Amino acid sequence: MSTAPDLSAVKAYLLDLQDRICRALESEDGSAVFAEDPWTRAEGGGGRSRVMADGSVFEKAGVGFSHVFGTQLPPSATAHRPELAGKPWQALGVSLVIHPRNPYVPTSHANVRFFIADPDGPNPVWWFGGGFDLTPYYGFEDDCAHWHRTARDAVAPFGDDLYPKWKKWCDDYFFLKHRGEPRGIGGLFFDDFNALGFESCFAVFRAVGNAFIPSYQPIVAHRKAAPYGERERDWQLYRRGRYVEFNLVWDRGTHFGLQSGGRTESILMSLPPLVSFKYNYSPEPGTEEARLHTDFLRPRDWAAL
């Protein structure tokens, strides 16, 4: 079996993954459907952005596929690999962010991507990356345990070391340094993954992508009908502000997309439709809102619960 990178196989998988995720989310919502917006990039490549808006379950869901390429890497891609500066490159990926209507349903994010530099050269440099993470507004230990167990089981066939390593990487990455707090309860995050050769790395990559819906959909199904009022909605909008802060200030994918001349609407479709910022606000001690900070927004061995 060849170990040379197979871009066509990666692209076919990602297009199918986008289709499957959109079908599952439409089924769970029951009223809204995704609108597709194909686009092209002047510097090379393009993609198809899909957005579901104003659904009964999902206030906004964006699932985007992109395959872009260029002749020179942007600074965000060469900061840790200066030897790649000036090299031609290609990047393929599916990225999604789901903002539910009900505050008891968590926001979720997933991204799986493949990158290759100097693809036509004698020694192309390539790697896989991605993962998924969960951002609840109200904490439920059984939801967190299910999310992490599904993540753990997805990569378990490829070695016992992957889940703890990639869980920690996720906890460290999705962290708002300027506030000293995690964005959510984590999941999996990996990057620069090529150590096992192309075929084995591609298998891990597919396992992660395929695990997203089994991780998220049962939580949505369980929580989407929970009653809520203005207090819960107000808290949800406030916490969405943290999501916006991370995506705009820290997220490397956002920076790469903007620096590489990507399509702004597709890059920023991850942002929630409504959000609230309050000055110097803290929830009342002992409330369920305060418990999100004290009991959930900290690294824990959720899969062991």
112 in a known ligand binding site: yes
| 262 annotated ligand binder | yes
Q: Is residue 183 within 8 Å of residue 246, measured between CB atoms?
A: yes
Find out whether 255 is annotated in a ligand binding site.
Answer: no
Known binding residue 184? Answer is: no
Structure tokens at 201: 């790395």
The answer on whether 111 is annotated among ligand-binding residues is yes
The catalytic residue positions are 109
Token pair 């802060």 is found at: 245
| Cβ atoms 22, 37 nearer than 8 A | no
99 is in an annotated binding site: yes
- Three-state DSSP string of the chain: CCCCCCHHHHHHHHHHHHHHHHHHHHHHHCCCCCEEEEEECCCCEEEEEEEEECCCCEEEEEEEEEEEEECCCCHHHHCCCHHHCCCCEEEEEEEEEEEECCCCCCEEEEEEEEEEECCCCCCCEEEEEEEEEEECCCCCHHHHHHHHHHHHHHHHHHCCCHHHHHHHHHHHHCEECCCCEECCCEEEEEEEECCCCHHHHHHHHHHHHHHHHHHHHHHHHHHCCCCCCHHHHHHHHHHHHHHHHHHHHCCHHHHHHHHCCCCHHHHHHHCCCCCCCCCCCCCCCCCHHHHHHHHHCCCCCHHHC
Residues in binding site for substrate: 95, 111-113, 261-263
Binding residue positions: 95, 99, 109, 111-113, 148, 178, 261-263
Residue list, annotated binding site for a divalent metal cation:
99, 109, 148, 178
